[in-house]
Amino acid sequence: MNISIIGYGKMGQLIEQCARERDLGVKSIIDPFHPQATHKEFTEDAMKGVDTCICFTQPDVAFSNIENICKYKKHGVIGTTGWTGQMKEVEKIVKSSGTGLVYSSNFSIGVNIFFKLIEQASKVFNAFDVYDILGYEAHHNRKMDSPSGTATTIANIILENIDRKKTIFEDRLNRKIEPEELHFASMRGGSIPGTHTVLFDSEFDTIELKHTARNRLGFATGAVIASEWIAGKKGLFTESDMMKQLLG
């Protein structure tokens, strides 16, 4: 199988490393700024012989990258966040192209196992209203967005499974939090690759679920595995769809 890497920052370079270790061919690297990229933009030449495009770029170009991936009828793995407000348009584009696209706020296999643990834990704690729920995340000082896409995914999983929580509050609180609000806070600083913590807290104890990334290699490996998984599929999928199939 052959891939094209869209965006050649730190993640793109790790994806190249992982792809070669798994014997995938890297046919092209598209990046308008990096001197080692093979192409500055999508072209017929850049897409020649490519099966799947793996995209980790800035949010403002994510939608146009998806359009180009589908234009050339390639499968796509999208790790860029910030475009899901255009989900209906993306669904139409993917369907009309006859290809497959899988997206996630976090392709780390460990994080996606973490999502499953939070889902199961939330279903248990839903029956015990003596527990309140809250969360927080920490990332390096170069991260552009807040909260992280992973934090938003976690918060939505909790909302889907805890009846007493109705809304997510992500900003600074200068008042008493309402019982139906789920507070998920963000911190930025240092070189932290990514830490996400969920607390189930009562008067008598705290149960904590936590995922700590050591480096970005887990994200890159998950994205490369996703590029193998999407081969031959049609339609729009999430990392959750992939995990359901892989876990049986």
- Residues of the chain with pLDDT > 90, as a percent, come to 84
Residue tagged active-site, from 39, 143, 233, 234: 143
**Topology adopted by domain 109-212:** Dihydrodipicolinate Reductase; domain 2 (3.30.360)
Q: Does the pLDDT value for residue 143 go beyond 80?
A: yes
* Mean pLDDT for the stretch of residues 222-233: 95
CB-facing half-sphere around the CA of 12: CA atoms within 13 A: 22
- pLDDT (tens digit per residue) in 72-102: 999 999 998 888 889 999 999 999 999 999 9
| Residue 139 a catalytic site member | yes
* ∠ Cα 79 69 76 (to 5°): 40
Distance CA 218, CA 189 (A): 21
Distance CA 226, CA 77 (A): 7
| Residue 165 a catalytic site member | no
- Per-domain residue ranges for the chain? 2-107+217-247, 109-212
Class of domain 2-107+217-247: alpha beta
DSSP string over 79-111: ---S-GGGHHHHHHHHHHHT-EEEE-S---HHH
- pLDDT (tens digit per residue) in 149-198: 899 999 999 999 999 999 999 998 999 999 999 999 999 999 999 999 99
Residue tagged active-site, from 27, 74, 75, 139: 139
Structure tokens at 199: 């607390």
